[in-house]
Structure formats: C-alpha cells, structure tokens
C-alpha cells in the first residue's frame, strides 16, 4: 500500500473531533428525558459518578490502544488480543456501523425539522403531531433527508484527518454558540414567572430516587452511551494522534466536555418546558422522539419576545441537534472506513462504498414498518426502534472486549516475568505488581501524559468494569422480562429472543470470518471463484497485510503484544513480505508461539 500517514494538526483538532463524536442527539434529547424521569438532580449523582468509574477509564484505554496499534478496531484487536480475536474488532466496527444505518435517518429528521422551522412550519398555530406524522409517513421525503445526511458526512471525511478536524471544529463551535443562545432564551422563559422552577428541579436532589436501582442503572447507561465509551471511536481517532499527544488528559477533556453539553442541553429543555407546560415532568419524561419533535416545538413557540424570538429558538435548537447528529455520523462512518484503509483499500473507495452501504441499509428504518400508536395517534418507526433495541446494548460487549485486551496483556506480561525470573506457581502479589499494572505502565503512563494514572484505574478495569457490565446487562434483560409481554417469542420485536438471535448469528459469522477474511485472505486455486471455492475446498490462505498509520517519529514497539510480531503488520508505505505458502507457515507459527508465550 502506497501513501503516507495521516494525522491531526494538534491537540485542539483531536479534542474537537472526539468531542464531536461523543456529542450526539442523546445529549440533547435523551439526557433531559433521563433527568426528568429520575428525580432531576438525583439523576446527576450516579451519572457523574459513572463518568469517572466507567466512561473516562474506558476512553483512556481506547486512546492508549489506538495510539499504540495505529490501526482501526479490527487491527487493534488483532494486535492487542492476537490473531484469533480480530473478530472482536469487527464486532465493534459492525455495532457502530449498524447503529449508523438508522442514525443517518435520525440525522435526516433533525435536518428536516431545522428547515421546517426556518420556513415557519413549527409556529404556535401548528399541530406538531400532524407535522410529525405527515413527515414520517412520507417515505420519499424521509429518505431524501437521510441521503442528505449521508452526503454531508461523506464530504466531511473524504480527505482524511485534516478534513475531519476542520469540519468538527466548525460544527462544534457552532453547536456551543447555538446551545448557549438557546440556554439564555430558556433562562428568560423560566424567569418570566419568577420561579426558575426548571433550573431548581434540574439541580435538586430527591433522596428517595437515590435508593432506587433504576436511577443508578440509567445513570450508568447514559454515561456509557453518551461518551461513546467502548464504541471504538476513541481507538479510531487516536490513530491520527501526533507522537507526543497525551491520552489521559484528552480522554478526560472529551468526557467532561460531553457532559457539559448534556448539562447545557438539559437545562435548556428543562427550563423551557417548566416555563410553559402544565405537567412538565410528564412532557419531559415521555418518549425520546415525543419530547424532541412534538413537545419542544410547542414549547419554543410560546417563548417571550414574539414570533422572531420563537422562530430563532426552535431553529437554533434543531440546527444544534443537526450539528450534534452530524458529528456523530462522521465518527461512525470514519470508524468503518479506517478498517478498510488499514487493509489496503483506497480511502476514496472506502468512503464511497461505506456511505452507499449506510444509506441503502438505512432505507428500511426510514421507510418501512411506520406504525401509529393507537393511544396517542403518534406515528413511530417500528423497524428503526427494533434495530435500536437489538444493537444498542451490543455496544456493551465492545467495552468488554477492550477490558479483555487489558486483562490478557496483564496475564501475558506476568507469565513473561515469571519465565525471566524462574518463578513458578501463582502469587497474587506478584500478579498485581508485574501483571495487573502492565497495561497502565506500558501504554498509558508513557511520559507523554499530563495526568498520571494510578492504581485506581487497574481496580476499575479489573474489578469494577465486569461488575458494572453484568449489572447493566442483567438489568436490561430483567427489565425486558418484567415489562415486555411474551418476551421469549422470537417474533416479538421488543422481546429477548430477537436480540439473542441477531447477536448469536452476528458473533458466529464474525468468528467464522476471522481466519478466512480478517487475518488471511482466500485465494481460489481451481475454477471456482470466491465464495464457491470455500465449498469445493479449492483455495489457499494468504496472510492479509495490515497497514499501520504511524506519523513521522511516532514509531513505538508492538512486539510485546500477542499479535505484534506478525511480519504482515507493517507501516503505511512499507511492503509486507511475499505471501508465499512457506512464508505464511512460518508467520502463522511465530504468531501462535508469541501468543502462547
């Protein structure tokens, strides 16, 4: 593969790109709903705690892994976990891409509502339910705005890191300005009755909510999804880090900025709703689509200052929402594209067919299975909601795979230390000193970090993370059992069986692809082409090269990692060895020996 390495121009570009990836529609429509449904300020307590127990530690790990591997998710797991586990990186890439299928549709909704607001189509005399239903039940219109979202995203990432950086800086600065302007107007609205009750509710702690497990589980889930922790996004963007870039401070900055935007958006929505709605908690804690596209236009249409201020309020909100959605779309598509580029595909081609695939696979979410709720008369996209139901919690496994990489590296380094020092058996003390701390010592506290990470990080990743993962997944399935009628029926779109079927088929397919497609490539030897040659057994396997994006002067060793001695993992611009059967046999044996050692 020819060409040179790509990188961000500096820390500011990296931070804006990662903040843009983390900040999405969930900050602006899901967060206020969580605050309203879980006791206002009471919800902020677990949400902030899990910021430091889940999101920041996991994002630190992602930055450290991507900076060392200099590849996307498939390559990172191939290097860190060994060639047998490259499929974990494919799972991470797939989950993000599968979410992107329908997220492009949601982004299109936001863009449509912005242009509708500009045209005065969301004024005080408009039935917002009718506007929503008419739009959702017009598949051609929905698909058109979905396509617009994909085209904008494609244009933003076409030229690589520098373009991604510029677009994110523009969108994020604009988002900050828009949200602060909307916050100021919402503050005026809330102050107009002399109570500031929306502001007070946002920060008032109600102790009874803190003893409810649901509050803590919702706080954990909101923190995990909102910061994109474990999503592979930080792995992808850290590929473009400069050689001396700090991983720890950048991770903390990204997560804290993400939470700050959530607070600003939450305050804006809360104060606006409390100022004009008779039953604000019911309005805020309703379905995510309901509050965003049905309630908020009605709320902003009652803003003081006349029609101009009202139009400005609703237009600013939906433009901000569109920008937040687009920056998340950019990271979603780039995560997929990076994996293709790592394996030798030209960037322009990878951007092109990834964008086309996201558009085509998103059409069912945009245009099929649009139903109407009998009780409310509000249309909703059943197919899209089923996709979110299936893949939303799949992100948790991506985080678990990252933790697995850390656990595995610690165990391998402990075994190496034992071999070097002639120590047998197992000593927990030695394991803590020479195994558990290895990842942190070798990949995080490298001397480039402004924020030194202590043993607390080890405790979180080795003990806290598995506990939080089991709690979150367990609560999810228990809630389904308790609230969903006939949850084991495979035809139930909201049940458990449909999730397990899709997860199982996908994981099984990716594991089977690991040897044939991810680490190697199939070369037909007979008359049958691919994939028929798999049935006739007329093929040989050649090792698949992996190209690392290593900027000048940023080369660091990867030979202590399970997949790091693979001769077919090379820097961009270098040529891998000739993939003869003899070379492949030696390569395969060496990699396996290294993993065992």
Q: Considering the domain boundaries, does residue 240 fall inside one?
A: yes
| Structural contact between residues 92 and 232, judged by C-beta atoms closer than 8 angstroms | yes
Q: Considering the domain boundaries, does residue 224 fall inside one?
A: yes
Which residues is 380 bridged to in the sheet? 371
- In a 3-state reduction of DSSP, which class is residue 520? strand
What distance in Å separates the CA atoms of residue 459 and residue 465, rounded to the nearest whole number?
9
Instruction: Label residue 494 by pLDDT band (50, 70, 90).
Output: confident
What would you report as the CA-atom Rg of the chain, rounded to the nearest whole angstrom? Answer: 25
Q: Considering the domain boundaries, does residue 389 fall inside one?
A: no
E strand or H helix at 260 = helix 248-276
Query: Nearest to residue 219, comparing CAs of 473, 42, 460?
Result: 42
Find the helix packing angle between 306-342 and 248-276, rounded to 10°.
150
pLDDT for 217: 87
Q: Considering the domain boundaries, does residue 295 fall inside one?
A: yes
What distance in Å separates the CA atoms of residue 223 and residue 262, rounded to the nearest whole number?
10
Q: Considering the domain boundaries, does residue 459 fall inside one?
A: no
| Structural contact between residues 248 and 453, judged by C-beta atoms closer than 8 angstroms | yes
303 backbone φψ class: left, alpha, beta (φ>0; ψ -120 to 50): beta
What distance in Å separates the CA atoms of residue 7 and residue 276, rounded to the nearest whole number?
48
CB-count exposure of residue 597 (10 Å: 0-12, 13-18, 19+): exposed
Instruction: Label residue 5 by pLDDT band (50, 70, 90).
Output: low
Share of the chain above pLDDT 70, in %: 95
**Can you give the CATH number for the domain in which 175 is found?**
1.10.4160
pLDDT for 289: 63
Instruction: Label residue 581 by pLDDT band (50, 70, 90).
Output: low
b/e per residue 550-587 (b: at least 16 CB within 10 A): bbeebeeebeebbbbbbebbbbbeeebeebeeebbeeb
Share of the chain above pLDDT 90, in %: 54
What distance in Å separates the CA atoms of residue 440 and residue 433, rounded to the nearest whole number?
11
pLDDT, tens digit (0-9, with 9 covering 90-100), for 532-567? 888 888 889 999 999 999 988 888 889 999 999 999
Lowest mean per-residue pLDDT among 5-14, 187-196, 252-261, 432-441 = 5-14
- Average pLDDT score over residue span 21-27: 86
Q: Considering the domain boundaries, does residue 485 fall inside one?
A: no
> 503 pLDDT exceeds 90?
yes
- In a 3-state reduction of DSSP, which class is residue 524? strand
What distance in Å separates the CA atoms of residue 57 and residue 51, rounded to the nearest whole number?
9
pLDDT for 24: 86
Instruction: Label residue 293 by pLDDT band (50, 70, 90).
Output: confident
Q: Considering the domain boundaries, does residue 103 fall inside one?
A: yes
Q: Considering the domain boundaries, does residue 246 fall inside one?
A: yes
pLDDT, tens digit (0-9, with 9 covering 90-100), for 297-314? 888 888 877 888 888 889
Split into its structural domains, the chain has a count of: 1
Domain that holds residue 48: 11-383
Question: Can you read off the two tokens belonging to residue 530?
Answer: 């691919």
pLDDT, tens digit (0-9, with 9 covering 90-100), for 408-462? 999 999 999 999 999 888 999 999 889 999 999 999 998 877 788 999 999 999 9
Question: Can you read off the two tokens belonging to residue 392?
Answer: 């939303």
| Structural contact between residues 275 and 189, judged by C-beta atoms closer than 8 angstroms | yes
Q: What angle do CA 495, 497, 501 make, to 5 degrees?
A: 130
pLDDT for 4: 62
Instruction: Label residue 149 by pLDDT band (50, 70, 90).
Output: very high
| Structural contact between residues 461 and 474, judged by C-beta atoms closer than 8 angstroms | no
Looking at every residue in the chain, the average pLDDT score rounds to 88
What distance in Å separates the CA atoms of residue 47 and residue 225, rounded to the nearest whole number?
11
> 158 pLDDT exceeds 50?
yes
pLDDT for 288: 58
Lowest mean per-residue pLDDT among 334-348, 374-388, 581-595 = 581-595
Instruction: Label residue 583 by pLDDT band (50, 70, 90).
Output: very low
């Amino acid at each position: 593969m020819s060409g040179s390495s790509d990188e961000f121009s500096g820390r500011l570009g990296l931070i804006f790109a990662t903040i843009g990836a983390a900040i999405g529609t969930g900050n602006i429509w899901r967060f206020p709903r969580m605050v309203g449904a879980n006791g206002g300020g009471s919800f902020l307590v677990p949400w902030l705690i899990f910021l430091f127990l889940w999101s920041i530690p996991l994002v630190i790990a992602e930055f450290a892994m991507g900076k060392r591997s200099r590849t996307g998710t498939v390559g990172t797991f191939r290097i860190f976990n060994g060639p047998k586990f490259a499929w974990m990186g494919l799972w991470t890439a797939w989950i993000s891409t599968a979410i992107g299928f329908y997220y492009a549709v949601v982004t299109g909704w936001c863009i449509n509502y912005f242009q509708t607001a500009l045209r005065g189509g969301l004024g005080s005399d408009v039935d917002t339910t009718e506007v929503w239903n008419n739009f959702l039940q017009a598949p051609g219109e929905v698909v058109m705005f979905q396509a617009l979202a994909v085209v904008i995203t494609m244009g933003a990432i076409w030229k690589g890191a520098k373009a991604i950086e510029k677009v994110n800086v523009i969108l994020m600065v604009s988002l900050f300005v828009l949200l602060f302007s909307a916050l100021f107007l919402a503050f005026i609205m809330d102050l107009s009755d002399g109570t500031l009750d929306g502001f007070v509710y946002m920060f008032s702690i109600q102790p009874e909510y803190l003893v409810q497990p649901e509050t803590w589980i919702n706080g954990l889930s909101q923190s995990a999804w909102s910061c994109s922790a474990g999503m592979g996004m930080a792995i992808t963007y850290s590929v473009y880090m400069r050689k001396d870039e700090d991983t720890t401070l950048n991770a903390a900055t990204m997560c804290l900025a993400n939470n700050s935007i959530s607070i600003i958006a939450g305050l804006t929505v809360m104060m606006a709703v409390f100022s004009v709605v008779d039953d604000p908690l019911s309005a805020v804690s309703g379905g995510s689509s309901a509050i965003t596209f049905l309630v908020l236009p009605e709320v902003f249409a009652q803003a003081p200052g006349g029609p101009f201020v009202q139009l400005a309020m609703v237009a600013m909100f939906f433009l901000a929402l569109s920008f937040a959605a687009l920056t998340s779309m950019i990271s979603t598509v780039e995560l997929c594209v990076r994996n293709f580029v790592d394996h030798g595909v030209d960037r322009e081609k990878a951007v092109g067919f990834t964008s086309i695939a996201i558009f085509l696979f998103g059409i069912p979410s945009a245009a099929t299975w649009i139903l109407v709720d009998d009780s409310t008369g509000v249309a909703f996209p059943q197919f899209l909601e089923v996709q979110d139901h299936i893949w939303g919690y799949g992100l948790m496994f991506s985080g678990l795979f990252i933790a697995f990489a850390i656990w595995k590296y610690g165990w391998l380094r402990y075994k190496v230390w034992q071999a070097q020092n002639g120590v047998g058996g197992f000593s927990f003390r030695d394991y803590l000193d020479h195994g558990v701390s290895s990842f942190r010592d070798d990949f995080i506290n490298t001397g480039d970090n402004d924020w030194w990470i202590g043993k607390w990080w080890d405790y979180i990743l080795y003990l806290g993370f598995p506990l939080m993962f089991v709690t979150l997944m367990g609560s999810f399935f228990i809630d389904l059992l308790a609230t969903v009628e006939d949850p084991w029926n495979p035809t139930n779109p909201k049940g458990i069986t449909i999730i397990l079927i899709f997860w199982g088929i996908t994981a099984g397919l990716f594991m089977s692809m690991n040897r044939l497609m991810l680490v190697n490539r199939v070369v037909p030897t007979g008359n049958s082409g691919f994939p028929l040659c798999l049935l006739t057994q007329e093929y040989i396997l050649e090792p698949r090269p992996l190209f690392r994006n290593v900027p000048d002067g940023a080369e660091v060793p990867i030979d202590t990692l399970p997949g790091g001695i693979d001769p077919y993992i090379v820097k961009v611009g270098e040529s891998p060895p000739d993939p003869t059967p003899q070379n492949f046999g030696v390569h395969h044996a060496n990699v396996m020996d290294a993993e065992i050692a």
